[in-house]
Structures are given as C-alpha cells and as structure tokens.
Amino acid sequence: MTIRALIFDVFGTLVDWRSGVAREAEHLLRPTAPVLDGGAFADAWRARYQPSMETVRSGARPYVDLDVLHGESLPGVIAQFGIGSVPEPVCRSLILAWHRLDAWPEVPAAMARLRESHLLAPVSNGPVRLMADLARRNGIVFDAVLGAGYSRDYKPKPALYRDAVEALGFTAAETLMVAAHSDDLAAAACHGLSTAHVARPREHGPAGGETAPCLPVTYAARDLADLADQLGC
C-alpha cells in the first residue's frame, strides 16, 4: 500500500517537550525558586497531562483545550515544589512555554523531505494555535492542523484517527500515523491506519523513552530522517 499522508503525534515525537518546559520553568521561576530542578518540574506537570484529559474523554466535562488544562494543573505543580506566590503573568508565560518547544534536531529537514511527496498534518492533543506556534518556531510546514482542536476530544478516542483519515481523503491504510508512543500507534491501528514508530530514547530525560515499538508496526525508525529514508523521500 502506498503511503500518501502522514499524521503525527507531536509532544515527544516531533518536539522535545521535557527540555523546553524545564528551560522555561527554570528561567521564569528563578525569582521565587532559584534552585528549581526544571526537569523534575516538567515531569511533574506532564504527570497531570493524562488525568486532566480524561475528564474530557470520560464525558465528565465538555471539551476544553490543552492550554486550559495546563493552566488548571499548574497551581498544583507549583505547590508540589513548595514555590511561593507566582504572579499571574508568569503563570501565563509558563502555560505558553508549551508553545515554545524545540523540535528534535533532525525533524525540520526530515519533514521538508516528507512533504515533497506526502500530505502532512499533526494529530496532537494540543490545540490548533499551539500546533501553529510550534510549526512556525521550528520551520515546519503542515498541510492541515488536525487532532484535538479539530475533533474536540483527546487521543486515543476514535474520532481523532477517523476524522484525520476523512479530512485528508485517503484510505486509512494510505494514512500513516507517526508516533514515539506505542499506545498511540495501537489506537491508530485499531482504525486501520498504517503505523510508524519513531524511537525517542531521551524523551523523558534520565527516565528514557521508547527505543522500539511494543507492538507490530508498518515501519520502525531510529528517528524521523530514518523514516524518510524508508519511505523513499
């Protein structure tokens, strides 16, 4: 089956969320927490990511975007680290730190190669504005912005994968879900999509990341450049 479109997980797969959030937290919170371990702060914030989205996935509340969820979870993280009062403008800037993440080194060039012969779109839990900001920051060109902001729900709910296939107009098998997380790929495969695992062994810093998929996939790649090579780009 010819792959005609690629859809991407973003946090961890295309961008290094941990290093970016750690850097911003250490900088923005220095006046009140001069010896903050930014990596630990990023990990603690990320630990609230899935539980916050589950409130939407479960139907307990209507859809709200990830910026709202990050804003709701931030005070708890600040309290967890024993940090004193943080001004509201600093909190807002911390939330927007997720909009200022850097891509993994090979990603911009690999995305340009892939786009020569495929349609590209994020299918992320991040909202449209966040995806646009990350794309502009890292010189990535998407043909569409899909995912949570488009489907009004969070992965791994079926709508995100089905809506992406329908929006791009190819068959599910012609649409390749690219992720560094086996659970994301398992959900995509349930809906007939082709799947590509990209290893990100440093996603969680000292805690590592997935070096190989935990399930059968269509492609398994060392990084995004390797995936582009495998696709003949």
Task: Based on the fold, state whether residues 107 and 149 are members of the same structural domain.
Answer: yes
* Domain boundary, last residue among 82, 99, 116: 99
Residue 14, pLDDT > 80, answer yes
Task: Based on the fold, state whether residues 144 and 218 are members of the same structural domain.
Answer: yes
* Domain boundary, last residue among 64, 84, 99: 99
Task: Based on the fold, state whether residues 109 and 182 are members of the same structural domain.
Answer: yes
135 Cβ partners below 8 Å, 6+ apart?
122, 141, 142
Q: 146: domain CATH number?
A: 3.40.50.1000
Structure tokens at 217: 């996939």
Residue 1, pLDDT > 90, answer no
Task: Based on the fold, state whether residues 111 and 12 are members of the same structural domain.
Answer: yes
Q: 77: domain CATH number?
A: 1.10.150.240
Mean pLDDT of 46-70: 97
Mean pLDDT of 147-169: 97
Cross-strand pairs, 6: 120, 176
Within 13 Å of residue 59, how many CA atoms lie on the same side as its CB?
0
* pLDDT, mean over the chain: 97
Task: Based on the fold, state whether residues 167 and 73 are members of the same structural domain.
Answer: no
pLDDT digits (tens, 9 = 90+) for 190-202: 999 999 999 999 9
Distance CA 197, CA 218 (A): 8
Task: Based on the fold, state whether residues 94 and 113 are members of the same structural domain.
Answer: no
Percentage with pLDDT > 90 across the chain: 98
Task: Based on the fold, state whether residues 128 and 225 are members of the same structural domain.
Answer: yes
Residue 41, pLDDT > 80, answer yes
Q: Assess contact for 148 and 169: CB atoms under 8 A.
A: no
Distance CA 42, CA 63 (A): 24
Q: What angle do CA 111, 115, 119 make, to 5 degrees?
A: 120
Task: Based on the fold, state whether residues 129 and 190 are members of the same structural domain.
Answer: yes
Give the predicted TM-score (pTM) of the model: 0.96
Task: Based on the fold, state whether residues 173 and 95 are members of the same structural domain.
Answer: no
* Domain boundary, last residue among 33, 68, 99: 99
Report CA-CA distances (Å) from 167 to 13, 121, 150, 163, 175. 22, 10, 10, 6, 11
Task: Based on the fold, state whether residues 107 and 218 are members of the same structural domain.
Answer: yes
Q: What are phi and psi of 43, to 5 degrees?
A: -65, -45
- SS3 for the chain, per residue? CCCCEEEECCECCCECHHHHHHHHHHHHCCCCCCCCCHHHHHHHHHCCHHHHHHHHHCCCCCCCCHHHHHHHHHHHHHHHCCCCCCCHHHHHHHHHHHHCCCECCCHHHHHHHHHCCCEEEEEECCCHHHHHHHHHHHCCCCCCCEEHHHHCCCCCCHHHHHHHHHHHCCCCCCEEEEECCHHHHHHHHHCCCEEEEECCCCCCHHHCCCCCCCCCCCEEECCHHHHHHHCCC
Q: Is the peptide bond before 156 cis (omega within 30 degrees of 0)?
A: yes
Mean pLDDT of 92-99: 98
Mean pLDDT of 96-105: 98
Q: Assess contact for 131 and 164: CB atoms under 8 A.
A: no
Number of domains in the chain: 2
Task: Based on the fold, state whether residues 172 and 95 are members of the same structural domain.
Answer: no
Range of the domain at 72: 17-99
Task: Based on the fold, state whether residues 115 and 212 are members of the same structural domain.
Answer: yes
